Structure 1
Amino acid sequence: MAQLSDDCFAFGGPLIPVDEILALIASRLSPLDGHELVTLGAADGRILAHDLLAPLPLPPFTNSAVDGYAIRGADIPDAAAQSFPVTDYVQAGMAARQAMAPGQAIRIFTGAPMPDGADTVFMQEDVVVGPADSVTLPPGLKRGSNVRPTGEDIPLGKKVLRAGHQLRPQDVALVAALGMTGVEVIKPVRVAIFSTGNEIVAPGAERGVSQLFDSNRFMLSAMASRLGCLVTDLGILRDDRAAIAEVLDAAASTHDLILTSGGVSTGEADFVKASVESVGTLVFWRVAVKPGRPVAMGVIKGTPFIGLPGNPVASFVTFALIARPAIMALAGASPAPIAKTPIRAAFSYRKKVGRREYVRVNLRQGEDGLPEAVKFPREGAGLLSSLVDTDGLVELGEESTEVKVGDTVGFIPYSFLI
């Protein structure tokens, strides 16, 4: 479990830029202790604990890349087609029964090991099969064609995956191809999540006329689970400072991160800030981002705490920008900056200088066939439909003040953020 000093996230300014938050997280949060061996079936999404070196070359033997006929390079016809006797037949998973002799050809199939002495394969589409087990090969083929040498893909001992890499399905396939049945990964981050406020109730519960069903807790739990976290759902905590403080204190003893939604603004009814300060240290951040801004981060008994806004869109965006990097840092994942794809704006927009903004957009094909971003027609950090009915976010930097139709903007698909 992370053991942080109470002032590790201290920041003196009234409004902190996103990049400074990320730098602070990267410098103050270290990977958790503890590794575990998981099977290939459980490896997807996990963080590799050690560099992975290839225990064998891929392919492990020289083989044919096509269905065709193997011959010696010295026998390749030069000026005219030439007939060769076919003396053997090699399928994938078999081995040739004899070495290649001068002036002979061997029928071979994709993936089959090359016979000793053979170094070139003619594709079956390029030859003429004759009578009496013979084949006519055309001239001009380059020596070594259509052959996969041993280690062509990966040589023996090569570092194929680095420690801190988050495993993907293609990575799992590579590990399997190397003959390994499992990999050592960093233990998952244990995250405690709860929502706060008298104004929300759990789905399925009786809802008062002035209450809303809690959605943030389920969204944040899902986002954390997609990052490989072990999530503890602590439910909804009512606006009671002592009760919230008690839950925070207990959660800090058994979790690596505490994540909350709501109650971290500057209003008199926002109780989380005071509750955190009673059992730990909290640096209240007004983050220079929209939607978002009220985000709190602190330390309780050595465990990091992140308080996200109560509005769903703001909670989603600030999780992606702040909580996600914090989780990945604790998980030992290699830093991965958000990749933005340049795309043409099909909307106009004005913003204040000095803060970063994220605009919800859909992608469509423009009249010229090129993709363009269309802004969601309504504003508001409480509009869940604006997340459901869009494809991603356009990032507008702190110095930007205006977007005009036709401008190039940076697009971030939701798939990258979750």
Structure 2
Amino acid sequence: MGKEFLKIKESGDAKKIIGDLFEKYYPPESESVKLSDSLNRVLFNDIESRIDFPPFNRALKDGYAVKVEDTYGASEESPNIVKIVDVVEAGDFSDKTLKLGECIQISTGAPMPEGAEAVEMVEFTDLDDEGNVNLFKSLTPTQEIGQKGSDIKKGNKILSKGELLTPSKIGVIAAQGISEVDVYKKPKVGIISTGNELLDNDELIIPGKIYDVNSDMLKTGADAAGSDAKTLGIIKDDYDSIKNKINSSIKDFDVVLVSGGTSAGVGDNLRSILDELGCVYIHGITVQPGKPTLVGVIDGKIVIGLPGNPVSALVIFNMFVVPSLEKLAGIKVDENKNTFTGPITKRIHSPIGRMQYQLVRIKNDGVEPIFKDSGAIFSLATADGYTKVDKNIELVDEGEIVTVTLFK
């Protein structure tokens, strides 16, 4: 007798249910992190400039701060001569007020002295033995000077809520003297693998056993979706063991992913556990691969049962779980950037009544289907993504144009 799917859902309905559950139980929250730890985090609030930047008029080039009148008519054939009265390096300042006939030697980034109107670049000068400077170029007011607030004025918005923090944006924030930022809090995801046949990667392989693929695969996928994920080990196909592990896990994690083993009845165990401890919202989705997918809630925490086969688990995770994790983490995704459109190179036969997610690779600007079963883990290594075949379509013929959702 086959499994009885009690709450089987269409693909679109399942996506909506999962999305609604995330919105109901997990409103977006913020946390404060050190700026040095904020790479690839998402801003929770707008950031306004605390100061003018630059905070003072500064020299843009090494040279001499001068009165522009002292440069009028200057040339290599007929230089104008001014006297050095001070030297100012970056990080220092001069307390002198510049007068006609004087100059102050200045380094790039140093604050302009009082009375100085421009910077004669060192390339257009010559220093004589008596401490005087020959000026060879006529200047205009503010030439080679970065004006106070020319980059950003105090109180202006410099970054917006929802922006992904990159090194350059972190640099902009650092220039404001900000050491901590409010970012979207990462959802905490716990990952449990179940199956009597599973081994940890450091165990010796023996007949009848296989290594646990899903734990590390799902953890890295969840991390890439903006989560803080942790693998919680392998649990045998035993009702009480699985129940106790889920019970303990929901105390520490927002979302618990449970990938099933291949032993008979594992899916029913998880369904019964969710029924006992909480509520089942989805038991089966009309897709291939990945029909035996479970979604439930226990004590306000979402528990998702994924298929044990790695290909099925990854496809279901990417299609139905990742969008909600990314939204909770504040990550905005441009769907068009993660797709490829091209002709299919081999025909695809699809079961009527179930949405099919067909693994494919991009080859010579075409889309080549990968025809292997859902347990063929090495097909993932060669796949660039998958294309969807609608439940009402039985055949996609060679040459038809399809859209591929690319693995990130």
Counterpart position of 2:133: 134
Residues 19 and 324 in structure 2, CA contact (< 8 A), matched pair in contact too? no
Task: Return the letter of the residue paired with 1:91.
Answer: E
Q: Matches of residues 69-148 of structure 1 in structure 2 within 5 Å? A: 69-72=64-67, 77=72, 83-85=80-82, 87=84, 88-102=86-100, 105-125=103-123, 127-129=124-126, 131=128, 133-138=132-137, 144-148=142-146
**Counterpart secondary structure, 1:16:** helix
Q: 2:311 aligns with which of 310, 313, 319?
A: 313
- Alpha-carbon contact 2:343-2:398 (below 8 Å) kept: no
SS in 1 for 2:158: strand
Residue deviations 1:138-181, cap 9 Å, x none? 45x77544433333333222333445555444444333332233
C-alpha offsets along residues 109-163 of structure 1, whole Å, 9 cap, x if unaligned? 32222233445445545x2536453243445x77544433333333222333445
Q: 1:257 aligns with which of 255, 258, 267?
A: 255
Distance 1:74 1:289 in 2: 79
SS at match of 1:56: coil
CA RMSD of the aligned region, Å? 4.3
Is structure 2 residue 198 aligned with structure 1 residue 200?
Answer: yes
Report the Cα offset of residue 189 of structure 1.
2.9
Please give the alpha-carbon distance, in whole angstroms, between the structure 1 residues aligned to 2:239 and 2:46. Answer: 46
Q: TM-score, normalised by structure 2?
A: 0.74
Partners of 2:162 and 2:197 lie apart in 1 by 41
1:270 is paired with a residue of what secondary structure? helix
Preserved contact between residue 245 and residue 278 of structure 1 (Cα < 8 Å): no
1:44 is aligned to 2:39:
yes
SS of structure 2 residue aligned to 1:253: coil
User: How far apart are 1:217 and its partner, in Å?
Assistant: 0.7
**Which amino acid in 1 is paired with 2:54?**
P
Task: Give aligned pairs, total.
Answer: 390
* Equivalent residue, structure 1, for 2:333: 336
More deviation, 163-172/192-201: 163-172
Q: Give the TM-score of the pair, scaled to structure 1.
A: 0.72
Rounded Cα–Cα distance in structure 2 between residues aligned with 1:128 and 1:93: 24
User: Residue type matched to 2:385 in 1?
Assistant: L
Tell me the distance in 2 between the aligned counterparts of 1:314 and 1:111. Answer: 58
Q: CA deviation at 1:216?
A: 0.8
- Of 214, 232, 235, 1:234 maps to 232
Corresponding position: 1:393 with 2:385 = yes
List per-residue Cα deviations over 1:161-212 (Å, max 9, x = no partner).
4455554444443333322333344554332210122232222335442321
SS at match of 1:129: strand
SS in 2 for 1:174: helix
CA separation in 2, counterparts of 1:328 and 1:74? 60
Note the residue ranges of structure 2 that are not aligned, 5 or more in a row: 1-6
Larger Rg: 2
**Distance (Å, rounded) in 1 between the aligned partners of 2:311 and 2:109:** 51
2:3 equivalent in structure 1: none
Name the CA shift for 1:298/1:19 in 2 (closer, same or farther; >3 Å): closer
Aligned amino acid, residue 305 of structure 1: V
2:54 corresponds to: 59
- Distance change in 2, residues 1:72/1:233 (3 Å): same
Task: Give the 3-state SS of the residue equivalent to 1:156 in structure 2.
Answer: coil
Q: Does 1:15 align with 2:11?
A: yes
Unaligned residue ranges in structure 1 (runs of 5+):
1-10, 367-371
In structure 2, give the amino acid aligned to 1:14. E
Contact 2:311 2:377 (C-alpha < 8 Å) held by counterparts: yes
Q: Structure 1 residues 342, 191: CA separation in 2 closer, same or farther (over 3 Å shift)?
A: closer
Could you tell me how far 1:302 is from its partner in structure 2?
1.2
SS at match of 2:324: helix
Larger CA deviation: 241-250 vs 190-199: 241-250
- Paired with 1:245 and 1:134, the residues of 2 have a C-alpha distance of 84
Residues 356-387 of structure 1: per-residue CA shift (max 9 Å, x gap): 74755468xx8xxxxx5775866454444444
Hey, what's the Cα distance between the residues in 1 that align with 2:294 and 2:233? 19
Q: Map of 1:240-389 to 2, 5 A cutoff?
A: 240-262=238-260, 268-271=265-268, 272-284=270-282, 292=290, 294-331=292-329, 333=330, 335-338=332-335, 340=337, 345=342, 348=345, 350=347, 355=355, 357=357, 359-361=359-361, 379-388=372-381
State the AA in 2 paired with 1:61: F
Q: Report the CA distance between 1:95 and its aligned residue.
A: 1.6
1:159 matches 2:157: yes
Question: For 1:209, what is the secondary structure of its paired residue?
Answer: coil
CA distance in 2, matches of 1:117, 1:408: 68
**Contact in 1 for aligned 2:226/2:325 (Cα 8 Å):** no
Measure, in 2, the Cα distance between the counterparts of 1:343 and 1:74.
62
Q: Give, as a single letter, the amino acid of the residue that structure 2 aligns with 1:43.
A: S
Q: Which amino acid aligns with 1:64?
A: A
* Structure 2 residue identity aligned to 1:134: V
